[in-house]
Amino acid sequence: MASEAVVPKPDKSAAEAPKAAIVKKAYSPERLAEHRALMAGVLEEGGKRIRRSVDRLIAMGFYDKDGKRLKKELPADMQPGADRDFGG
């Protein structure tokens, strides 16, 4: 005896899902100017954070002022095979 899967046909009264429409949004000049100002501020703040991080690494002696790495050895807890406890 052959068994076949029975797939019911959709009811004609069933609502079909609407198809996605691509909508091109037009932003106002004020909105675009606000966005440009916001992005300029984000990029400026990002540059400041990077500079502070670099200054901190130089102050700790990991890098020199030319960007060359001075310390290449890892701390004891970061060595391969080290017994580490992360407090968990």
- Whether 3 has a pLDDT exceeding 90, the answer reads no
For 22, the token pair is 């691509």
Helix (H), strand (E) at residue 19: none
The CA-atom distances, in angstroms, between 70 and each of 65, 76, 78 are 10, 17, 17
25-66: per-residue pLDDT in tens? Answer: 889 999 999 999 999 999 999 999 999 999 998 998 888 999
Query: 27 near 36, Cβ under 8 Å?
Result: no
For 62, the token pair is 């990991």
Q: In this structure, what DSSP letter does residue 78 have?
A: G
pLDDT of residue 22: 81
Tell which wins on pLDDT, 66 or 19. 66
64-77: per-residue pLDDT in tens? Answer: 999 898 988 877 77
Q: How far is 34 from 45, CA to CA, in rounded Å?
A: 17
- List for the chain the helix, strand, coil content (%; round to 5): 40, 0, 60
